Amino acid sequence: MILWNDKELTPYWVLACGCMLVGLLLFVRSRINPVRQRDDVPLEAQIGNGQTIGARSEQDDYFASASMPFGLLAVLADGISGLSGGKMASTTAVETFIREFEEQEHFPDVQEFYQNTSHMANQAILRKQQGVPGGTTLVSALIRGRNLYWGAVGDSILAVFRKGELVPINHKHTLESQLEEQYMSGEITEQEALDNPQRKRLVNYLGYEHFRQMEIADEPFALQPGDKIVLCSDGVYNTLTEMELETLLARDQSPYDTAQDIIDLIEEKRLVHQDNATIIILEQGW
């Protein structure tokens, strides 16, 4: 039998008790100050998309997305169908945004990124036109953690589906928007605004010599669990009602399946003048 001296045991007991005390303090601190999600760490996102050529002879919509360690970018462009260079314009615009995003080393300054890239895309389209008219709308979602930033020009839309309802994020750059402002200020009557035959005409787009700038988010839109981010061209929202879109978005399924269901419903309507229709749906894993 080995006999231990009580004096020899004392330092070990002190050390053991000290370690236990430190562990207890760390545990209590973790309960009081839980670890929080950092904004600069992107959460996993499911991305679904769908597209139909409709009754057009050419697909002028173009879209893409890119994921980097610091965030995710989704871009959708709708080439102006009445212009022969619509497909070139939408493709050039989207590729420019994706390329510039992938060249970033960290999350960019949102205002600077959208301003610089939109003018870069506009100039690239103008150079490629070579006398052939061409232009495109563009809507983009930039996600960092639980914050949604965005930039848009034209009439493609960005919305967030939350608790059964679509929340519009951007504005349409059409004469209709200007007419609504004139009506609200008392410059014209409601009937004059509604009867204007040019109300759907775009007043700002990429590939336009007088392009000014995109509409860019001043502040991020705070995302919540269950939110679905929706980007779509006018071929979607001009064909389906808001209620039809909300009903399909409410389904408990993947963003891809929902996007396909939306395109299927558009095609089922068999509209004689159905425009190109494209949709992107993003849903984050929380």
> What mean pLDDT is reported for the chain?
83
Q: What is the mean pLDDT of residues 84-92?
A: 91
Topology annotation, domain 45-284: Phosphatase 2c; domain 1 (3.60.40)
**47-56, 122-131, 156-165, 224-233: least confidently modelled range:** 122-131
The answer to which of 16-20, 100-104, 241-245 has the lowest mean pLDDT is 16-20
Burial class for 70, CB neighbours closer than 10 Å (0-12, 13-18, 19+): middle
Domain locations along the chain: 45-284
**Residue 133 — very low, low, confident or very high, per pLDDT cuts 50/70/90?**
confident
Helix (H) or strand (E) holding 249: helix 242-249
pLDDT tens readout for residues 31-72: 333 333 334 444 568 999 999 999 999 999 999 999 999 999
Residue 14 clears pLDDT 60, i.e. is over it: no
Task: Tell me the C-alpha distance between 141 and 161, whole Å.
Answer: 14
Residues contacting 80, CB < 8 A, separation 6+: 60, 86, 89, 134, 135, 136, 137, 202, 205, 207
